[in-house]
Amino acid sequence: MNEPFTHAVPILHTLHQNGYQAYFVGGAVRDVLMGREIGDIDIATDATPDAVESLFDHTIDVGKEHGTVIVIHDGVSYEVTTFRSESEYEDFRRPKEVQFISSLKEDLFRRDLTINAIAMDVNGEIIDHVGGKKDIQRKRIQTVGDPACRFQEDALRMMRAVRFISQLGFQLSDATADAMKKDKHLLANISVERKKIEMEKLLKGRYYEQAIRILIETKLYEELPCLSKYGLNEQLQTFPFYLLDGLEEVWGAFIHLLGLHEKEAVSFLKEWKLSTKLLKEAIAISKYVDCNWNAEKMFEAGESVLLSSLKVTQLKHERRIFFDELEAAKRSYDALPIKNLQDLALSGKDLMAIRQKKAGKWIAEELDFVKKAVLQNRLENRKEAIEEWLIACDQ
């Protein structure tokens, strides 16, 4: 067993010593079998959330009613979830009532996809009741059990299936694809917040092009905010989002490629329920794609928007990132004589003193005039120099 798992072994030991079962489950087991980098490690146990809390010193309640407690061990967080069955569902969304159970097998059966329903014990032995390993070998995405039933229970699983296609490059099984086509409308019952999480992972997947094709073939995209209105154009379908870094870049590229103007872009991102901060950053990035940069524009955009929109521009035209060009842009930005108005050697107060005039709109206008001259290197950013220049301009 490799490092991230061995670090969590003491948690399993503590549970065992107290008479409980405990296994590694979910994404981390799938990823280790695939030889991929392992993300968060999830643990499943028959201990109830209360029992888990009582056995460990550092725990966080993140949804005890659904069975999950975070255990912090040696600085690392682990989600420890009680075995459960999810029999009854309320309006296709969340399990109406979670039943804690003592059978690992049953817990694995309630999981979404076969590749996500594999467990591993403390000795590294694999427990696979649903053919998950075989599906990993065959690169196949299918639900545990009848897809139509599983999508009725929780329609988000359709999005999750496509998201894993994007991350892993797997194929959808025919039965799962057929159920998706029939049941796509159920996605309307799912909150935008849950859909957004899957959409962002889908956009950043290495096999995004494959995934977006499935979204189109199954018409699932019609159930996603605003996408049926704008459609998914060719450029959007082939854009290598995975080469971008932050979500602000991903959404910035998305609205740019959709061809939305600012007002439309704002309402699009609001429909997707982005935070105000992320929304503003995405709008700014989108605005500067294909920009003809000069000192004033760099000043206006700021360093991070400059670099992000340059990346989007490169990917749009060349499908790759030119790091030397980014370095050069960063150097040009660093060389700007001022980075914001506070850096200007002359303040609004100084201006009022020179002009012997009361505050008013004129200050911003005149500072802008000075700022331009400084940025264009026509004027030195030194108080006396600016004062002399202003007097000379008056004559």
Binding site for Mg ion (CB under 5 A): 27, 40
Specify the residue, 27 or 337, whose C-beta has the smaller distance to Mg ion.
27
- Count of other CB atoms within 10 angstroms of residue 356: 6
- Binding partner of residue 112 among ligand ATP, Mg ion, none, CB cut-off 5 to 8 Å per kind: ligand ATP
67 CB-near residues (< 8 Å, 6+ apart): 49, 81, 82, 83, 84, 98, 100
Spatial separation of the C-alpha atoms in residues 281 and 290, rounded to whole Å: 17
Inter-axis angle of helices 156-168 and 192-203, nearest 10: 10
**Pick from ligand ATP, Mg ion, none: which does 196 bind, CB < 5 to 8 A by kind?**
none
Instruction: Please say which residue, 114 or 286, places its beta carbon nearer to ligand ATP.
Output: 114
Rounded to a whole number of angstroms, the minimum distance from the CB of residue 223 to ligand ATP is 16
Pick one of Mg ion, ligand ATP, none as the site partner of residue 366 (Cβ within 5 to 8 A by kind).
none
Task: Name the residue whose CB lies closest to ligand ATP.
Answer: 27
* Least distance (Å) between residue 116 CB and Mg ion: 9
- Backbone φ, ψ for residue 42 (5° rounding): -105, 145
Residues in contact with ligand ATP by the rule CB under 6 A: 26-27, 39-40, 42, 111-112, 116-117, 154, 156-157
Which of 116, 381 has the CB closer to ligand ATP?
Answer: 116
* Cα–Cα distance for residue pair 24/12, rounded to 1 Å: 9
Partner in contact with 156, chosen from ligand ATP, Mg ion, none, beta carbon below 5 to 8 Å by kind: ligand ATP
> Is the Cβ of residue 220 or residue 346 nearer to ligand ATP in the bound state?
220
- CB under 5 to 8 A by kind: which of Mg ion, ligand ATP, none does 154 bind? ligand ATP
Q: Are 149 and 87 in contact (CB under 8 A)?
A: no
Q: Measured from the CB of residue 173, what is the shortest distance to ligand ATP in angstroms?
A: 17
- Taking Cα atoms as reference points, which of 55, 107, 105, 57 lies closest to residue 82? 107
Q: Which is nearer to ligand ATP, 37 or 365 (CB)?
A: 37
Residue 116 touches which of Mg ion, ligand ATP, none (Cβ within 5-8 Å per kind): ligand ATP
Which CB sits closer to Mg ion, 40 or 262? 40
Residue closer to ligand ATP (CB basis): 157 or 184: 157
| Nearest to ligand ATP of 42, 135 (CB atom) | 42
Q: How many residues does the chain have?
A: 395
| The 3-state secondary structure of 278-343, one letter per residue | HHHHHHHHHHCCCCCCCHHHHHHHCHHHHHHHHHHHHHHHHCCCCHHHHHHHHHHHHCCCCCCHHH
To the nearest whole angstrom, how small is the minimum distance from the Cβ of residue 111 to ligand ATP?
A: 4
Q: Are strands 99-100 and 94-95 parallel, antiparallel or unpaired?
A: unpaired
Considering the complex, what minimum distance in angstroms separates the CB of residue 28 from Mg ion? 7
d(CA 319, CA 322): 10
CB of 158 to ligand ATP, least distance (A): 10
Ranked by CB distance to Mg ion, the top (closest) residue is 27
Q: Long-range CB contacts (< 8 A, 24+ apart) of 277-282?
A: 278/247, 278/248, 278/251, 279/251, 281/246, 281/248, 281/252, 281/305, 281/308, 282/247, 282/248, 282/249, 282/251, 282/252, 282/254, 282/255
Smallest distance from ligand ATP to CB 161, Å: 10
Contacted by 205, from ligand ATP, Mg ion, none: CB < 5 to 8 Å by type: none
Q: Please, what is the minimum distance in Å from the beta carbon of residue 9 to ligand ATP?
A: 19
CA–CA dist 339, 356 (Å, integer)? 28
